[in-house]
């Protein structure tokens, strides 16, 4: 299927043409931008640099019920399977993060909850034309208009979007809305490509990851971990807002005689995360926790799945309350190697 | 008037003392307007120390944050002092910690920095978006001067000051072992306008307002961790038995969390505004804290963090406390 | 079926005064509404204000905390501390949008069986007026 044009004025018709299916898109909630289910009257908010909360919570919700039960009974009720839906306005870095995390959720045991949402949803990307100050996607194999993990890519051409379906799923979705789309001219395609290139050149920060994955474990006892973690508060901002962080905790929540088992995001920056029932904590301080976060992303994940679990979206740098900067840590790592 | 030379010399001297473990100050961050806490163990690192309108972090938090790792048998705990640089509001946090015996007076050395108000990072990044290079800033005659890549810019400080500074009544440290420069004038008066605006609504509107805000909470606990007064070793949030609040993220549990947090700070919050600053999803947490601050002031004529000899509000009483609400 | 709404009140009573007062009301055969679920605690000072939040979360429509009159506390000063805490908790709950009618405190001594009846009826009446609590009630576990 060829590229097409969606005029900005027709956005409402486009959303309506997609029909009854669920559509997630960035929405402003106060000052915060995050993905949420679009209501009937809502229009997706597509004029942004990036969302505060990454779209990972569409496929991997912060709290998810696995099953429900009654105390004393033996029956379990599982949630119904997901309907089909679409996620619109994902930045290429966040989409790439999903495809990185896919290998984890389908490794060893397939995770039906995650994979069902991954296959049931169509992911429509929005090329990044104005990278933020802390973006460094180009250093990690991504690009502001990367198509990895996406079913279609949109590019903002001022008064219209250029839509390029990439997979069968993407094509199917846009066929539903064929009436509101127009054919794209070669000129449009060319100007979009030019914008993509310009955007890639605008990414200001970078890091050379050459050699880091292999050598990071050698720095296990290095002084730098204490220096970089001194100011860490031990909060969950860097991990909860990270598009590739995927750790979860499973808990039973019982009220009266009804209970449910659910899983929720957990963060390796919390002391509780590794706390044993005996009271022993193998990662007793923020130094070990920070070391683990960096090692997991830049070394362990590479060992297991062959790719660095960081896409360079810059959220952990932007939102860290004490300016712990992952690029700064990596620079120090490079120096110490 | 801020004198960096004096600050660095004083820091060198303090950190060289035998009974000082390390000094906590501020240094330039890695990009834009951000600054980072600076942990200084030797005099050589003093040149990185700064004090500017960008120094928002309340360093008193770190006094209670050091992990208490098990001490090997036969070894004594390290009881040397931690030196900490404080603004007016931060010094109140230290005082309140002393009142509650969260910090030991013998183990802290307080370096007071009278402060003309720090910026709200969101406001300044809105005013000057996309600045990558680290920016220097200083106060000058009620103006804030920024050294931006394109040259110096100055503008009235009121434009970018944090809300807490616009209504700050304690810009000078209330307790310090050494004060680095002259005291500054009080800038603001507290009128509680935003709190009063909410109080004017009816319960339904108020709940709608808070529901909207609190439903955004992602429970990263940064507001708890950054708070200099939140230092319980065993927090109600982490308790599983009894489970005070579930870990699921929904309005009910988030509200219970925010109520617990705000309530545990009643009569203890010293209005440093750190919780609101760090919140990634912009929940106006200070409104809850300020509401309680206001009530504590009105009902009990009490202000926390001023007198190290005072008793904690909720661990004391007066026989004639107000009881008009009691049936 | 037009079932009349009956509020669900959780009451924390101190062992030495209010619980005995409620007991006196019972032994004196005073009639009053049965919407109250009584939890006996040793002292009103033992009641953590988060108990009230938790009760509301788990299904209460109103909360009542009752203790000895000031100066009469079995432990000398427990009710004074309770008074401070609940004054603040009440303000906080009101500020976040919980109707003040749902949150009550009373002093009832062991000899005030008749006052106990009045207190209970007032609390239930107030809760009935504002209707079921649904602000931060835990969702039914059903999805």
Q: Tell me the domain boundaries of chain A.
A: 4-202, 212-336
**Least CB-CB distance to B280: which of A29, A63, A241?**
A241
**Chain B residues inside the 8 Å CB shell of A240:** 218-220
Predicted local confidence at residue C143, as pLDDT: 41
CA–CA distance, A121 with A57 (Å, rounded to integer): 13
Q: How confident is the model at residue B188 (pLDDT cuts 50, 70, 90)?
A: confident
CB contact under 8 A, B206 and C91: no
Q: What is the pLDDT of residues A5-63, one digit of tens each?
A: 999 888 888 888 887 678 899 998 877 899 998 887 788 888 888 999 999 999 999 99
Q: What is the pLDDT of residues B86-125, one digit of tens each?
A: 999 999 999 999 999 999 999 999 999 999 999 999 999 9
B211 and B284: one domain?
A: yes
**Least CB-CB distance to B247: which of A52, A240, A264?**
A264
Q: What is the dihedral sign for C-alpha A267, A272, A277, A283?
A: positive
Closest CA to B154 of B168, B139, B164, B166: B139
Q: Which residues pair with B178 in a beta bridge?
A: B111
Report yes or no: C106 and C64 within 8 Å, Cβ to Cβ.
yes
**Chain A residues inside the 8 Å CB shell of B34:** 323
Q: Please give the C-alpha separations between residue A246 and each of A118, A242, A293, A295, in angstroms, as whole numbers.
A: 14, 9, 12, 15
B156 and B229: one domain?
A: no
The reply to whether A8 touches chain C by the CB within 8 Å rule is: no
Q: What is the pLDDT of residues A245-263, one digit of tens each?
A: 999 999 998 888 888 999 9
User: Which A positions 163-192 lie with beta carbon below 8 A of chain B?
Assistant: none
Domain residue ranges of chain C, discontinuous segments joined by +: 9-130
The reply to whether B213 touches chain A by the CB within 8 Å rule is: yes
Alpha-helical (H) ranges within chain B are 4-16, 88-99, 121-127, 163-166, 193-199, 203-214, 222-226, 251-264, 274-278, 285-300
Establish, for the pair of chains A and B, how many residue pairs have beta carbons separated by less than 8 Å.
Answer: 118
B289 and B236: one domain?
A: yes
Length of chain A: 337
Q: Please give the C-alpha separations between residue A162 and each of A5, A6, A122, B19, C52, in angstroms, as whole numbers.
A: 5, 6, 17, 66, 55
CB contact under 8 A, B325 and C105: yes
B206 and B249: one domain?
A: yes
Q: What is the span of the domain harbouring residue B232?
A: 193-315
**Chain A residues inside the 8 Å CB shell of C58:** 255
| φ/ψ (deg, to 5) at A258 | -105, 145
CB contact under 8 A, A260 and C141: yes
Q: Among B134, B155, B179, which residue terminates a domain?
A: B179
**Chain C residues inside the 8 Å CB shell of A258:** 141
Predicted local confidence at residue A20, as pLDDT: 66
B169 and B211: one domain?
A: no
Q: How confident is the model at residue B233 (pLDDT cuts 50, 70, 90)?
A: confident
Predicted local confidence at residue C1, as pLDDT: 42
When scoring C55, C141, C143 by the number of chain A Cβ atoms within 10 A, the one with the most, hence best to mutate, is: C141
Query: By three-state DSSP, how is residue A290 classified?
Result: helix
**Least CB-CB distance to B262: which of C92, C94, C97?**
C92
CA–CA distance, B115 with B168 (Å, rounded to integer): 10
Predicted local confidence at residue C140, as pLDDT: 59
B156 and B30: one domain?
A: yes
pLDDT beyond 90 at A148: yes
Query: By three-state DSSP, how is residue B111 classified?
Result: strand
pLDDT beyond 50 at B304: yes
- What pairing do the DSSP bridges indicate for beta strands A160-165 and A4-7? antiparallel
- The arithmetic mean of pLDDT across residues A136-146, rounded, is 92
| Among the ranges given (A111-120, A163-172, B163-172, B185-194), the one the predictor scored with the smallest mean pLDDT | B185-194
The reply to whether C57 touches chain B by the CB within 8 Å rule is: yes
Element (H, E) at C27: helix C18-27
User: What tokens does B195 get?
Assistant: 């709190």
**Chain A residues inside the 8 Å CB shell of C139:** none
**Chain C residues inside the 8 Å CB shell of A253:** 141
Alpha-helical (H) ranges within chain A are 11-17, 56-59, 92-105, 112-120, 168-176, 186-202, 212-215, 224-229, 237-240, 286-295, 301-305, 315-319, 326-336
Q: What is the pLDDT of chain A when averaged over all its residues?
A: 91
B117 and B255: one domain?
A: no
- DSSP assignment of A40-72 equals SS-------S--SS-THHHHS-SEEEEEEEETT
Q: Where are the beta strands (DSSP E) in B94-200?
A: 108-112, 136-140, 143-148, 151-156, 178-179
Element (H, E) at C55: helix C49-58
Is residue B34, in this structure, part of any structural domain at all? yes
CB contact under 8 A, A251 and B238: no
- The arithmetic mean of pLDDT across residues B315-327, rounded, is 90
CB contact under 8 A, C139 and B252: yes
Share of residues in chain C with pLDDT > 90 (%): 86
CA–CA distance, A176 with B78 (Å, rounded to integer): 70
Q: What is the pLDDT of chain C when averaged over all its residues?
A: 91
Is residue B326, in this structure, part of any structural domain at all? no
CATH number of the structural domain C9-130: 3.40.50
Predicted local confidence at residue C138, as pLDDT: 85
Q: Give me the residue label for tokens 């990414």.
A: A203
What is the ipTM score, two decimals?
Answer: 0.92
Q: What is the pLDDT of residues B236-256, one digit of tens each?
A: 888 888 888 898 999 999 999
Q: How far is C28 from chain B (nearest CA, A)?
A: 22
B164 and B227: one domain?
A: no
CA–CA distance, B287 with B209 (Å, rounded to integer): 12
CB contact under 8 A, C143 and A255: no
The reply to whether A259 touches chain C by the CB within 8 Å rule is: yes
Q: How far is A258 from chain C (nearest CA, A)?
A: 7
CA–CA distance, C72 with C69 (Å, rounded to integer): 5
Share of residues in chain B with pLDDT > 90 (%): 79
When scoring B21, B26, B28, B30 by the number of chain A Cβ atoms within 10 A, the one with the most, hence best to mutate, is: B30
CB contact under 8 A, C97 and B259: no
Establish, for the pair of chains B and C, how many residue pairs have beta carbons separated by less than 8 Å.
Answer: 115
**Least CB-CB distance to A65: which of C58, C138, C143?**
C143
Structural domain count of chain B: 2
Q: How many CB atoms lie within 10 A of CB C63?
A: 29
Predicted local confidence at residue C142, as pLDDT: 44
Q: What is the pLDDT of residues A216-251, one digit of tens each?
A: 999 999 999 999 999 999 999 999 999 999 999 999
Share of residues in chain C with pLDDT > 70 (%): 96
Dihedral in degrees, nearest 10, Cα atoms A105, A106, A110, A113: 40
Q: How confident is the model at residue A98 (pLDDT cuts 50, 70, 90)?
A: very high
Q: What is the pLDDT of residues C5-64, one digit of tens each?
A: 899 999 999 999 999 999 999 999 999 999 999 999 999 999 999 999 999 998 899 999
DSSP 8-state secondary structure symbol assigned to residue B102: S
Query: By three-state DSSP, how is residue A303 classified?
Result: helix
**Least CB-CB distance to B321: which of C84, C97, C99?**
C84
- What pairing do the DSSP bridges indicate for beta strands B108-112 and B178-179? parallel
CA–CA distance, A261 with A241 (Å, rounded to integer): 24
């Amino acid at each position: 299927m060829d590229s097409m044009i969606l005029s900005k004025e027709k956005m409402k018709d486009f959303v309506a043409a997609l029909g009854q299916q669920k559509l997630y898109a960035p929405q402003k909630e106060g000052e915060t931008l995050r993905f949420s289910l679009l209501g009937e009257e809502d229009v997706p908010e597509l004029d942004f640099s990036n969302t505060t909360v990454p779209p990972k919570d569409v496929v991997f919700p912060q709290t998810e019920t696995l099953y429900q039960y009654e105390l004393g009974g033996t029956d379990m009720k599982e949630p119904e399977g997901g309907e089909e839906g679409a996620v619109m306005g994902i930045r290429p870095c966040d989409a790439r993060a999903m495809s990185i995390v896919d290998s984890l959720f389908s490794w060893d045991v397939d995770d039906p909850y995650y994979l069902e949402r991954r296959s049931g949803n169509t992911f429509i990307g929005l090329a990044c034309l104005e990278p933020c100050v802390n973006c460094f996607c180009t250093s990690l194999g991504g690009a502001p208009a990367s198509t990895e993990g996406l079913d279609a890519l949109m590019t903002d051409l001022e008064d219209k979007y250029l839509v390029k379906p990439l997979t069968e799923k993407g094509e199917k979705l846009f066929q539903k809305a064929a009436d509101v789309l127009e054919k794209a001219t070669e000129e449009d395609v060319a100007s979009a490509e030019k914008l993509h290139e310009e955007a890639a050149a605008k990414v200001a920060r970078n890091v050379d990851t050459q050699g880091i994955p292999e050598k990071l474990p050698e720095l296990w006892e290095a002084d730098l971990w204490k220096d970089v973690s001194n100011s860490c508060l031990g909060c969950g901002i860097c991990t909860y807002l990270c598009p590739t962080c995927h750790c979860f905790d499973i808990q039973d929540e019982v009220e009266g005689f009804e209970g449910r088992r659910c899983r929720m995001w957990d963060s390796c920056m919390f002391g509780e995360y590794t706390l044993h029932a005996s009271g022993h904590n193998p990662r007793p301080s923020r130094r070990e926790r920070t070391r683990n976060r960096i090692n997991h992303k830049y070394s362990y994940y590479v060992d297991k799945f062959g790719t660095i679990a960081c896409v360079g979206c810059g959220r952990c740098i932007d939102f860290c309350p004490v300016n712990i900067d992952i690029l700064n840590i990596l620079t120090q790592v490079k120096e110490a190697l | 008037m801020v004198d960096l030379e004096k600050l660095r010399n004083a820091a060198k001297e303090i950190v060289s003392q035998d009974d000082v473990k390390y000094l906590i100050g501020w240094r330039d961050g890695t990009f834009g307007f951000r600054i980072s806490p600076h942990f200084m163990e030797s005099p050589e690192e003093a040149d990185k120390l700064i004090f500017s309108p960008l120094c928002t972090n309340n360093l008193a938090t770190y006094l209670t944050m050091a992990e208490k790792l098990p001490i090997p048998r036969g070894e004594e705990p390290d009881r040397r002092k931690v030196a900490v640089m404080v603004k007016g509001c931060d010094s109140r946090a230290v005082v309140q910690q002393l009142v509650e015996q969260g910090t030991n007076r013998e183990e802290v050395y307080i370096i007071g920095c009278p402060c003309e108000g720090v910026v709200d990072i969101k406001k300044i990044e809105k005013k000057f978006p996309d600045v990558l290079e680290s920016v220097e800033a200083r106060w000058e005659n009620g103006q804030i001067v920024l050294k931006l890549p394109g040259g110096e810019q100055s503008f009235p400080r009121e434009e970018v000051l944090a809300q807490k500074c616009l209504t700050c009544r304690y810009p000078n440290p209330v307790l310090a072992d050494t004060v680095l420069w002259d005291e500054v004038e009080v800038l603001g008066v507290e009128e509680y306008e935003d709190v009063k605006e909410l109080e004017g609504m009816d319960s339904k509107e108020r709940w709608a307002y808070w529901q909207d805000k609190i439903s955004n909470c992602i429970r990263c606990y940064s507001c708890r961790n950054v708070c200099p007064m939140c230092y319980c070793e065993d927090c109600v949030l982490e308790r599983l038995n009894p489970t005070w609040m579930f870990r699921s993220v929904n309005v009910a549990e988030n509200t219970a969390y925010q109520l617990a947090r705000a309530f545990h700070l009643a009569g203890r919050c010293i209005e440093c505004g750190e919780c609101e600053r760090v919140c990634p999803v912009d929940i106006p947490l200070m409104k809850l804290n300020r509401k309680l601050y206001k009530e504590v002031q009105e009902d009990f004529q009490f202000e926390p963090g001023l007198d190290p000899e005072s008793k904690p509000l909720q661990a004391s009483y007066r026989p004639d406390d107000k009881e008009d609400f009691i049936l | 079926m037009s079932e009349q709404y009956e509020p669900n009140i959780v009451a924390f009573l101190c062992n030495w005064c209010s619980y005995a007062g409620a007991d006196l009301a019972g032994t004196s055969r005073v009639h009053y509404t049965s919407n109250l679920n009584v939890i006996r605690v040793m002292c009103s000072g033992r009641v953590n204000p988060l108990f009230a939040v938790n009760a509301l979360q788990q299904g209460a429509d109103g909360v009542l905390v009752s203790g000895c009159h000031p100066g009469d506390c079995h432990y000398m000063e427990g009710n004074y501390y309770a008074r401070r805490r609940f004054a603040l908790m009440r303000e906080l709950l009101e500020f976040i949008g919980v109707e003040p009618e749902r949150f009550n405190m009373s002093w009832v001594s062991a000899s005030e069986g008749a006052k106990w009846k009045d207190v209970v009826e007032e609390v239930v009446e107030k809760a009935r007026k504002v209707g079921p609590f649904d602000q931060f009630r835990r969702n039914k576990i059903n999805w």
